[in-house]
Structure 1
């Protein structure tokens, strides 16, 4: 009798690494390919596509149904709505928390997570690496064993870091080398990363632990840029510029490469850290990449040229919609929970904006927010009792003058505790405003950010204030 093939849910299946990993996994597993545009893709042999927006816990639960193992290849650097307000770190919290809770509910036995190398003895990590570590902690917060494959710069024709490096080398008549280019790094070829991910599946030795992976070459970023130039047949003049700070480097790299700032800025910030594998995180057979940097760079460049010459597939675009995602992080006062923060926010809003704002809360915790000179509410929220817990209060945006009632199908507001921290994420998802877009963007959207900043400062003063403790 043939051995049953494992079912692997792949989050980020339409991304570059996800596509390559899927081709490798389908040889010995059945794949549930998760993507926000999954309904636009055709199922293939051993591959079933599912539309899944990981900002929705319901979607995450449906996406992971039937999976034995789940691979998480997701980050939120790029905007996910027409207007995205908030830091990518906070959005990554929501994605990871939904995924982890859904994995627990659906009986997933292992989560495979692709992250970055976390430098040892670094007191202050970059925002990107700090977020990657926080995601790792959240994925493991609900009891499902997590195997984290930590890699530095991945050398492949697409992705993020190597294409940016290639553009720098290709477009500059001479190479400007800031101080951070003397930092050591251990790049790894894409096939070696795929091998480590594939070999981790069902591997009891690596369940619940991080695994550092790197190629055979340890070098500085300066050396890597010079070797990339050599592979491209170039020998540009190099100029060391100690005055070019990380902040200036971010602007310079963005200008030269044309890459979006949401991707460039966090990556450049991370280049100040040495990205070299550590002995305590090495696993024989997984950690040691075998492909040299020059070989990996040459293959990546050749594949890129092949893709240019070949017939390009037209990208799949989501229908343009005027949706909003706004995410902020706030403290939770000691002794309280996220559900309480949600209820307290409405009360605080009326007290702070009194006498202009009025709120109504019924016995089911549903609420309306309005102004004194108008009987109709500005926004109405229905409390989702069946989807809420002490650690997460969920409210559906059910109406109001400021919501587009015809399009506002999935609009919601949530207050979510971050596992292991006395902090919460406040998030608005899939909100469709009724105001004309330009007017909304520069009035209501800005006002929301101001209100959330005031609420955060209010909660930060909780410990030293006695006025709030009766609430």
Structure 2
């Protein structure tokens, strides 16, 4: 059976490849070209940017089971505009569409534990729940595995905690370090994924993964210190905000802001396993916290830290910009695309006009007349609920075969994503960042306000 793993080069993905080796035909999906060691020689690696639906469709060819281990908290381009929640949403939507086209038989998604008070979720956990909804509303049998802190030597959360313990003899512990959590060992997560792959009874179910121990982040740090033979003192203070906490954690651990801030924000709520949703594997006992931490520390090395914290960088000066905009009742993504082209010529300041000739769309400066951006409509890759235009040039853009603008319906038609991918500006990079990049965000913000007006009329095809 062929299993495709999205996120196969990540913390859980690498371990899953090793776990499944010899039993399955494994396809590992990775954004960049990798030279993989012989331990992964049985895995077929496919270069895949999941922000591209075409890439995703090619990557999932022949797959019967698809395992989704992706998150988008790290930048995916040299300049990334938008929230990681919207990045997560568009990537998950591409993955699902590609799975449907390739007739994948099952999807397994590893997300985050959702607290009982789901009305006050952090952006990180809200994003995880939105991704769940993308998969669960599809026609492909899906299993959702929810986990809080996954304990493993290469996990970013574990490495952050370990570096704090190593570097700080006295640790100032804000309120979030006292929040109860139910961590789970990496080996138990791998066992759970494999069990769900092999048991149809788990289809279309949501399971919570967690070990037998409930403890706080500060208690875990003391256990780590004890296992490493270090003596540490914790000072609990009530006045440090999550923002200030994230700042000092970043300074101590060198972990990036995009990773630290969402993780700390998500710890404001207890993350505990619901007993009626616990995954029970016959003959298997989930590992206790002591054994899980000991195993992770034995394989931990400071030299491994950059792999967990490495930020995506692109020397080609490419841009990705994703904004969530309202979708008026009864509208499709095609309606939004048509309205966008009609709206630009009449918005203030009226310095731009849009010309549409067959499949070509020209964004032009009025005085003097200059074509600023040239787009080509792609009918073969558009179907009403997702409209795609390729960037073909203009004064403000370099010619690029992958540069594109799309409008796509998400979350059951309750919202729309307007996205620019792999755009390569012609302006000098730093000048572009303080001019054209800000203008694009301003225009999309104004367009979103326009769509939110109660009397906005659905465009007519012309």
TM-score range, shorter chain: over 0.9
1:341 to 329, 336, 341: 336
Asked if 1:29 is matched to 2:29, the reply is no
Q: Which residue of 1 aligns with 2:432?
A: 440
Q: Which residue of 1 aligns with 2:442?
A: 450
Q: Which residue of 2 aligns with 1:368?
A: 362
Asked if 1:381 is matched to 2:363, the reply is no
Distance 2:429 2:285 in 1: 49
Distance 1:192 1:11 in 2: 19
- Pick closer, same or farther for the CA change 1:289–1:353 going to 2, 3 Å: farther
> Please, what is the CA RMSD of the aligned residues?
2.2
Q: 1:83: how far off?
A: 0.6
1:194 partner SS: helix
Asked if 1:108 is matched to 2:104, the reply is yes
Asked if 1:410 is matched to 2:402, the reply is yes
Deviation larger for 155-164 or 56-65: 155-164
Deviation larger for 33-42 or 152-161: 33-42
**Following superposition of structure 1 onto structure 2, how do residues 257-336 of structure 1 map, counting pairs within 5 Å?**
257-285=253-281, 290-305=286-301, 320-336=315-331
Query: Which segments of 5 or more consecutive residues in structure 1 lack a partner in the other structure?
Result: 1-5
- Pick closer, same or farther for the CA change 1:239–1:349 going to 2, 3 Å: same
2:124 to 123, 128, 135: 128
Output the TM-score relative to the length of structure 1: 0.92
Q: 1:291: how far off?
A: 2.0
**Following superposition of structure 1 onto structure 2, how do residues 56-135 of structure 1 map, counting pairs within 5 Å?**
56-135=52-131
Encode CA deviations 1:326-348: one digit per residue, 9 max, x unaligned. 11000011121111101111111
Q: 1:192: how far off?
A: 0.9
- Pick closer, same or farther for the CA change 1:287–1:62 going to 2, 3 Å: farther
Task: Work out the number of aligned pairs and report it.
Answer: 455
Q: 1:293: how far off?
A: 1.6
Distance 1:264 1:190 in 2: 20
1:377 partner SS: strand
Q: Which residue of 2 aligns with 1:397?
A: 391
1:378 partner SS: strand
Encode CA deviations 1:266-321: one digit per residue, 9 max, x unaligned. 0000111111110221121189753222222222222123967xxx9xx9998721
Encode CA deviations 1:192-211: one digit per residue, 9 max, x unaligned. 11111111103112111111
- Pick closer, same or farther for the CA change 1:385–1:207 going to 2, 3 Å: same
Q: Which residue of 1 aligns with 2:220?
A: 224
Encode CA deviations 1:115-142: one digit per residue, 9 max, x unaligned. 1111123321110010001001112333
Encode CA deviations 1:1-47: one digit per residue, 9 max, x unaligned. xxxxx100011111121111001112210001111124655896532
Output the TM-score relative to the length of structure 2: 0.94
Deviation larger for 29-38 or 79-88: 29-38
Deviation larger for 99-108 or 317-326: 317-326
Q: Which residue of 2 aligns with 1:193?
A: 189
Distance 1:455 1:469 in 2: 14
Query: Which segments of 5 or more consecutive residues in structure 2 lack a partner in the other structure?
Result: none
Distance 1:448 1:306 in 2: 41
Q: Which residue of 1 aligns with 2:247?
A: 251
